Structure formats: structure tokens, C-alpha cells
A and B are shown apart, each in its own frame.
Chain A
Amino acid sequence: MRAVEDAVKVKIPDNARIIRNLLHGAQFQHDHLVHFYHLHALDWVDVVSALKADPKATAALADNVSNAQMGGAVYFKSVQERLRTFVESGQLGPFANAYWGHPAYKLPPEANLMAAAHYVEALRIQARAARLHAIFGAKNPHLQSLVVGGVTCVADLTPDRIAEFLYIWKETQNFIENVYIPDLVAVASFYKDWGAIGGTQNFLAWGDFPETASEPESLYMPRGVIKKRDLANTAMAMQEGVTEHVKRSWYTDGPPKHPYKGETKPLQENPTYKPDDGKYSWLKAPRYENESCEVGPLARVLVAYAKGHADLKPVVDQTCQKLGIPVTALFSTLGRTAARGLETLTIGKAMEGWIMQLVENVKNGDTKTYQAWDWPAGEAIGLGLNDVPRGALGHWVRIEDKKIKNYQYVVPSTWNLGPRCENNKMGPVEEALIGTPVADPKQPLEVLRTVHSFDPCIACGVHVIDPDSNQVYTVKAL
């Protein structure tokens, strides 16, 4: 949409910008909560061990580390009973056949019970938080109020709708501040060694949340690129630097191309997996000035930190201090997972100001949500750069006679999980997995931790090779 808006040269109204920011902020709150509790926590939290916890001690621990409104020995006892009933039913459902009891699990039973309780609480909160999208976007997932020129929800710019949004935002932010972040810090304190595992070298953020009509200057989460972990020389990221390689991907061979000239020609055959020197992925390999770049929460937080972000930098510093780790420990799996939480907190806080701006506009009689536009004659090109929860997202469109001539997008998981490029350089996840200690190759929990920390949007194939037996284990990260 931003790409088409760029091509047809339309500037969206202030209210449309604010509503898009609010919807996008809500996406961060929601997605990151679900990722932390439901897609990543069980890599660190042993649910079965929670059955051994003493509810009283759990309550004391919870009182000590968090400000959660739910708690107390009775509460934790009931959660434990519910889990016990579930386990004793013999039908373990989604918890069946996992790595319970694995030596890499380090939390004491009480911390496991606390986290398991919040896993269930977060299931409820996320369903509520999704209503934020529905208020101005019709539904979640796949909201449907965004159009080229603005947003369609003009009839929802009413005091009760805005109040509804504010109320649920507050409820969600309350959970983030009082449960998510304390849980993150509590769990991280047992896994500080992961501050030296799973790191990458280069980071790219297109940035997002424009606070005025001018981009990238007004982006609340700034745009930038960091090479070789050199925070001091964080540079402006330029879209001209992007190319996509296909040498190791299941597409017809060709030179690396900028997305405006990009092609997507899948092989006309049953593709086979040739990891050694052939093609092995449906993902292309995006590169920025020929280097692979990690995108996502860590990239955004590092760019913001390097630029001295007024809200985010103190939060990062305080968290590192609390954990007793240096800022350089952020270049890791631990850092990636922490960054996700810290940006959720910070963006969530900023949303309140955006809601109030909307209130102010409506109060002053400004309910303009859409700017009419015309198709340009002949050919037009446009691009849209933004940063979604999983990372940097770019769309490039070429329009000819009101029709799409070419459309390419380079999405976060392509950046993070793309294969090697034609210069044989690894993508970020491949790079991050090098040197991961694996206690038992048949139960590679440690590998999952790093892969999941990227919040991959694909079912990906990862190979672990045991140097002694040279046996290859295929691990599917889901």
C-alpha cells in the first residue's frame, strides 16, 4: 500500500497516519506477547517440572519478581492442579513428546510454574488484545480497513470506539509492563550464558511509526544499518543497497537484482534438496551491499540504541544493569529475545500519545481519513519500507497503465532465513547457529532456542552435524 501510494504520489491524512500507527503498534503488542509465551517460552520453561513446584514458594517468587495482578498460593495451586489433571489424563496434546527434563532447562520448578501460569494468562490476554485491530480494522488477523490513500474506518472515529481502544490498550500494556517484562527478566537471569550464543554481525532496520508526514526523519523506531556490530558507525539504510540472490534458491538462475528489476521464476520441476553446493531453499537470499543482515527486534533496538533513542536507550541500559550483563551481550539469542520485549514495552508506551493525538484531532473537527488520488498516466514506480514485528519489510511496485507490471517484496524471514548468496555467504540464522552447544544431537533444544528467537515465519529445515559420527540430523523448526 505504501508502495502504491509512493507510485501514485498521494500523501495520506494525519488521522490515517495515526490510525495506521495505532494498528501497527497493536500488532507489536499482540505478536510479541504470543511469540514470547506461546512460540518461544517452552524452549526455556519446562512445564512438566512445574508440577513439582511448591505453590507457596511460587507465590513468593512471583511477588518478588513481578507486579502481576494474578497470584498467591491459591492461584498457583489451582494452575498446578489444572496442569496435573491435564498431564494425568494421558492426553498431552501440544505438550506431547517435547524435551521435558532436558539438561539445558535451568529454571527451578517454581519459576517454571509461574511461567506456565502466565502462558495460560497470555492466551486470554492475546485474544482480548486482538480486539484493538478489530476496532479500527474490522478483524484480526487480516485486518481490512487499509486502502491506498488512507483508511476506511471514518465511521469509527467516535468517542466510544476510541475509548474502547484506549481501554484495551491499557489492559494489554498493563500485562506487558507487569507480567511480560518481569517474566522476561526473571527467565533471562537463569540463562545469561545465552548472551554469548546465537549472535550475528550485520543489522538492518527500515524503521517505522512516522510521527509526522516526513520519513525517515520522524520515524519513532529509526531507520539504519549496522555492520560488523559497529554501533558507533550506524549509517542510514538506503533501499538502493538491496539485491536478491537466487543461486542457491529454487528459482531460474540469474544475477543478483534490485527488487525494482527483480524476477520470481520458480523452477518448473520437483525441487530437490542440494545443500552442498546446489539449491536448497524457496527463499531468495537478500543482501544489503552484498552482506546478509539480521532484521527484527534486535536490529531495531540496536539501531535505536546507537542513535540514542530517548525512550528505548534507558530501558535497554536498565535491563542490562538489572541482569548484570554488558550491552554487547545483546548480540545473541538472549539479546534478541530481550529486545523483542523491550521494544514492545516502549512502542506500547508511545501508543498512548498517538491515541491522544487522534482524540485532539477529532475534538478539533478533523476527521479526514482519506485522500483521493488519480492513476498516473503510463508507467510509475513506487516503494514502501517499514518494519513489522518480525523485521524490515520492503515492497517495490512497477505500474503500467493502471496494472501491476512487476511486484517484489523482501520480507523479514527472507532476510533472516534466506540461504547462502552467490558469494557463498551465509544468511543470519545459519550464521547464528554456528557454535551452538548441543548437549544431545537427538534432542537439539538449543538449536530451537536460536531459531525460534528470530520468530521465523516459515517451517524451516536446519541441519545439525555431529562431527564424531558425522551423522546428519534434520531438525524441523516449527
Chain B
Amino acid sequence: MDKEQNAFYERMEGKGVTRRDFMRYCTFLTATMGLSAAYVPKVAEVFAAPKQRPPVIWLHFAECTGCSEAVLRSHYPYIDDLVLEVLSLEYHETVMAAAGQQAEDQLHAAMKKYEGKFICVVEGAIATKFDGGYGKIGGRSFLDMGKDVCSKAAAVICIGSCSSFGGIQAAKPNPGGYKGVGDALGIKTVNLPGCPPNPVNFVGTLVNFLLLGKLPALDDLGRPLFAYGKTIHDQCPRRSHFENEEFVTEFGSPEAAMGYCLYKMGCRGPETFNNCPIAKFNEGTSFPIEAGHPCIGCSEPDFWDKMTPFYQEM
């Protein structure tokens, strides 16, 4: 038992969880995932401060950093646990203390040290027109960086609609020729679309990878089925109002106050695949339909072009 693991168990015990409780939890989790008992120690190892935390290189391309912000709001685990104990966030421009040349050096050092082993998370779309000229960091195009870094990763996870499908940059007229990462680089990626996506689904994808050593089952758009397998409409708590033809036709109306269906206000729930009604956001506090606003389909490909005009019935 090395020092880190001991420290981990001490911390757990500080929270009232004994080593025996912990192993029982790991056994339960292993069984839930349909694995044999032989996997139990492996599952335990993922949580019990592994000798080496899995390295993550996080790239920022054309984006607003909203997806990073969303992950900062993770409440299970909290972001400090995620960064200090579960993962090794080797490169992330917003939160890393290093800047400029030192940041650049860190990227190259991490890529070299963990070649073929790191998880590459990409936030933002890639400009493809004019040799990728519309999007550069330190004079180097996103296109060039993406090719270099993604090709050396164990897996590429696209967080958000921009890296998944191009997002707002790729909306018409798209002067920079922006595309999602998979499209721009011609590679397979795990896509977690949403503007921003729920951090719960990001953590779920990571845990799947860390526990099972493989990525979760995906649909034909690269989206994990556990999160994007059903439409919002099919999971909506207001569904019965739809069936009963009880609709909101004006915001702020008595029907809106009673939580009627937003279909006639332009809700895109019926054609949007996501688990917002079940997972909800910010510790399960709410999601757009609960706040009385129609779903705008923000996790579907090209939603800026295909889901607009918002507020008009489909």
C-alpha cells in the first residue's frame, strides 16, 4: 500500500467511510456494470488515488469557454476532487497557472510523456478555410494543433456543440469554414454536444473510460447512448400536458404558470436527443423547460441553422 493510497483511505475515513465500506461500494459498482468479481480491485484502483492519475490535455479552439465553465460546476465529483485526485489536467489554458511560452512547453512535454495514453478533450470548432487562418494560438492554426495533438491521444472527447458539430461558428455564413473536430480532422470522436453540455455526462463518459478502459456505447453521431439515447420530449415531465393538448401560447400566462407544454412556443424537445429532463443542471436544480423556456435543440447538429427561428412551432 503506497502513501497516496493510504492518504486516500485516511481521507475517506475522515468522511466516515471505512475501507470495508469502500470495497463494498466498489463490488456493487462492478456488479452493476456487469463485470466479474475479478474487476473489483481494478475499480477500487480508479478511485483510490491511482499511482498515476490519467492525464488529460484540454484544447480550446473557437469557443466561449462555457463548456469549461460547465465542468467547473460539476458537483459529483466536485471540480477540486476531479482535478486534484481523479485526473491529471496537464494542459487547460483557462485554469492552468502557466502562460505563454511556459504553457506551450507544458503542452509539448505532456504530449511527449503521455503519447498514446492521454485523453484529449476538445472545446470549440476548427477553422478550415484559408489554411485554418481564422483560428490560431501563438501563430499556429487550430487545424494544425488538432492534427498534432489528437493523433497522439488515446481518445478524443469533444465537449460541447462547437467541437462536436461546429456550433455557432459554423452557422451560416460561416466565413472561416468552421467544422466540428471529427469533420475537420477526419477522425472518430466521442461527442458530448450541448451549449453547454451537462457536466454529469462528461464525468459519466470519463468514469466509463477509467473503469472499463473503453469508451461508452455511441450512436451514429458519436454521442454516448447513456446520455443521448432518448429525446427530451420522451423524458419530459410536461409530457402529459402534451398528450392532453394543454399548451402554453404566451409566456407568463396562467398556462405557463401551471407548467403546460411548450410545444406551441417552439419547443424542440421532440427532435432533440439529450437527458436534460432527467439529469437537470447545477445539482439537479432546473433545466430550460422547467424554467418555462422552450428547448432550443442546442445539442443537435447545426442547431443555429436548423432549429431557428426559435419560438415558432415546428
Q: Which A residues are closer than 8 A to B by beta carbons?
A: 13, 34, 38-39, 42, 47, 81-82, 85-86, 88-89, 91, 93-99, 120, 123-124, 126-128, 130-131, 133-142, 144-145, 147, 149-150, 152-157, 266, 268-271, 273, 367-372, 442-444, 448, 459, 461, 473-478
Contacts and interface: CB of A to CB of B under 8 A. Distances in A.
A120 B104 CA distance: 25
Given A145-B288, A459-B137, 4 more contacts: A93-B88, A127-B75, A141-B73, A156-B290
A138 B80 contact: no
A94 B97 CA distance: 6
A155 B109 contact: no
Most chain B CB within 10 A, of A88, A139, A156, is at A139
B89 A154 contact: no
Contacts of A91: 52-53, 55, 88, 90
A153 B291 contact: yes
A97 B98 contact: yes
A144 B293 CA distance: 7
B258 A155 contact: yes
B207 interface: no
Contacts of A145: 288, 291-293
A134 B286 contact: yes
B7 interface: yes
A370 B292 CA distance: 12
Contacts of A133: 282
A448 B99 contact: yes
Interface in B121-164: 130-134, 137-139
B251 A154 contact: yes
A128 B79 CA distance: 12
B272 to A, nearest CB: 13
B65 to A, nearest CB: 8
A130 B70 CA distance: 10
B213 interface: no
A141 B80 contact: no
A16 B204 CA distance: 36
A270 B133 CA distance: 4
20 contacts: A38-B95, A91-B52, A96-B97, A97-B105, A98-B102, A123-B78, A123-B79, A124-B78, A127-B74, A138-B281, A140-B69, A141-B66, A150-B252, A368-B252, A371-B252, A475-B100, A477-B99, A478-B93, A478-B94, A478-B96
Nearest to A477: B99
Contact of A372 (B250, B285, B287): B250
Top 7 A-B pairs, shortest CB-CB distance: A370-B252, A270-B133, A139-B281, A98-B97, A152-B292, A134-B285, A138-B291
A154 B256 contact: yes
B293 to A, nearest CB: 4
B219 interface: no
B106 interface: yes
B208 to A, nearest CB: 21
B55 A150 contact: no
Contacts of B291: 136-138, 144-145, 152-153, 156
A97 B282 contact: no
Interface in B259-309: 259, 281-283, 285-288, 290-293, 296
B42 interface: no
A155 B258 CA distance: 7
Most chain A CB within 10 A, of B55, B139, B287, B288, is at B288
Contacts of B296: 144
Contacts of B55: 91
A127 B77 CA distance: 11
A476 B133 contact: no
A14 to B, nearest CB: 12
Contacts of B257: 154-155, 157, 367
Contacts of B44: none
A145 B110 CA distance: 41
Contacts of A150: 251-252
Contacts of B98: 96-99
B53 A89 contact: yes
Given A91-B88, A369-B251, A474-B138, A459 B281 contact: no
A154 B21 CA distance: 45
A467 to B, nearest CB: 19
B103 interface: yes
A97 B73 contact: no
Most chain A CB within 10 A, of B72, B97, B102, B195, is at B97
Nearest to A91: B88
B90 A120 contact: no
A42 B96 CA distance: 9
Contact of A97 (B69, B109, B131, B286): B109
Contacts of B49: 85
B239 interface: no
Contacts of B101: 442, 473-476
A94 B95 contact: yes
B251 A127 contact: no
B99 A93 contact: no
A156 B69 CA distance: 25
A183 to B, nearest CB: 17
A404 to B, nearest CB: 11
Given A127-B78, A153-B292, A266-B175, A86 B84 contact: yes
Contacts of A372: 250
A137 B286 CA distance: 8
A461 B98 CA distance: 15
Nearest to B56: A93
A469 B288 CA distance: 57
A133 B286 CA distance: 9
A273 B139 contact: yes
Contacts of A97: 98, 102-103, 105-106, 109
B230 interface: no
A28 B116 CA distance: 41
Interface in B152-210: 175-176, 195-196
Most chain A CB within 10 A, of B105, B282, B311, is at B282
Contacts of A127: 72-75, 78-79, 282-283
Contact of B293 (A82, A147, A443): A147
Contacts of A34: 72
A474 B196 contact: no
B283 A131 contact: yes
B241 to A, nearest CB: 12
Contact of A474 (B96, B100, B293): B100
Contacts of A371: 252
A93 B89 contact: yes
